[in-house]
Amino acid sequence: MAPSLLSIAVLALLFLGAFVPRFSLALAALPAALLVAGLAGVGVDELFGFFPVDFVVLVVGITALFAVVQLSGTTDWLLSRALRPIGNRVALIPLLLFAVGALLTAIGTLPAAVIAIMAPIALGIAAKRGLPPLLLCLTMLNGIMCGLFSPIAVFGASTPRLMSKAGIEVPAHTSLALFLAVLGTGLVLCLVAMLVGRRSIRAARDGAGSPTAPPDRASAEIVGTTGTAVASTAVRERVSDAVGQQSAPGRLAVWGSIAALVVLVVGGAVFKVNLGLLGLTLAVVLQLVLRIEPSAIIRRLPWEIILVIAGVLTYVGLMEHLGAFEQITAALSSATGSPLLSLLAVCLVVGLTSFFASSIAVLATAVPLVAPLVAAGLPPVGAIIAVALSAVLVDVNPLGITGGLLLGSAAPEDRARLFRQLMVYGLCAIVLGPVLAWFVFGWVL
């Protein structure tokens, strides 16, 4: 068997194994990479070159900072302030998270920073109000991904330039149409998630103020499973205590934490400082100022999640080196005969690749593939919207940077269930996202 085909087969086995009891993707990914590399004649030193050092530093730095913020009591303080104006209007919470996430990324904030800020509060609201964590995660992440295509955000600003560089004529309305199309798609997905989880929203609204939150039904409903998943009572009690019973943190802790968060966002969005190193620096400074025990911070770092994603991204780097993704692209393209079907093949490849790799890198690679299709008669803006949506819709998964930060913010007892739910959603999005994006936008504009 060719090394590229072997890497594809082993990757499929890895993800199938993730649903087998006592199988750990965190432990298996790196050994699988070593096995395939050995059979393909790739040396260990070269394999280590695929290890995502930047990602490890990013997750460690940001989660260390937010461990300090949480230990200082500021997260619970922010949670109580966020809950205060909502009252019993529980149905507005998913929309609020969607809007805030879209706004923050639309003004240029990096998704990692937005998720790091919003995830602890969103999951805390879910526990406090008895809402399904998956529902709030989906609405928040869809909002964050949609804001990326604002004309002043990285994706929105770079896409027209990529089109021009690839020789595609860029209509004047491209930036606005791209942003509105992606934003509208995200809003529809948010409303669909709320519709599917309407029973849990209604139960949470009816049970507002009750010490016992309703069961977490919508998480199972959204991913299409049966049965009733019960939300963690321990988390609800912890958040309830933090919001309603613990004394408020001191001014130094609150304003110091808020200042650190502002520096993180401004440093990443405006000055393009490495978020991981900046977050770790701020964590150390804040820890020393507030005199927090370092071991408590280290215990809160999501080491298992770091190992999962680092191992998978190392394996994906090896697959790229072996030409596996090019082989997938060639196979899909050979099965099509018209420009419209070729665009569908490109969207599917983009969705599959973006599930594992950087969305902006995948988008930059895919835009040149669209140029000959536009020359053959496809509308440029619609084709680019379809490809762009294919790249970002699959980002709601537990194996990327966004998913890693989200799982790192979840309570340890909730991580396994949330990982499975996000995995199922992400795997479905690999096919359904590109197909729907192609069907709706591929032939218009």
Single-letter amino acid code for the residue at 267: G
What percent of the chain lies above the pLDDT cut of 90?
Answer: 30
DSSP states along 164-221: HHTT----TTHHHHHHHHHHHHHHHHHHHHHHHTHHHHHHHHHTTT-SSPPPB-HHHH
Is the distance from CB of 201 to CB of 131 less than 8 angstroms? yes
Rounded Cα distance, 113 and 261, in Å: 9
What letter represents residue 88's amino acid? N
Max mean pLDDT among 110-119, 170-179, 208-217, 223-232 falls in 170-179
pLDDT at 38 over 70: yes
- What mean pLDDT value characterizes the chain? 82
Mean pLDDT, residues 11-35 taken together: 86
Q: What is the pLDDT of residues 3-21, one digit of tens each?
A: 999 999 998 898 788 668 7
Nearest to 75, CA basis, from 17, 128, 36: 128
pLDDT for 251-265, tens place per residue?
Answer: 999 999 999 988 987
| C-alpha to C-alpha distances, 373 to 346, 355, 384, 392, nearest whole angstrom | 10, 24, 11, 21
Model confidence over 204-232: pLDDT tens digits? 777 655 544 444 444 444 444 333 333 33
Q: Can you give the pLDDT at residue 286?
A: 96
- Phi and psi for 379 in degrees, rounded to 5? -65, 130
pLDDT at 312 over 60: yes
Mean pLDDT across the stretch 387-401?
A: 86
The SS3 assignment for 229 reads strand
So what's the pLDDT on residue 228? Answer: 31
C-alpha 112/C-alpha 137 separation (Å) is 14
pLDDT: is 235 or 78 the higher one? 78
* Contact in structure between 74 and 254 (CB atoms under 8 Å): yes
C-alpha separations of 145 from 52, 216, 358, 391 in Å: 22, 25, 13, 10
Q: How high is the pLDDT of residue 76?
A: 73
What mean pLDDT comes out for the span 427-437?
A: 93
pLDDT value at residue 83 = 59
Residue 250, phi then psi, degrees to nearest 5: -70, 165
Q: Which two tokens stand for residue 199?
A: 């029973």
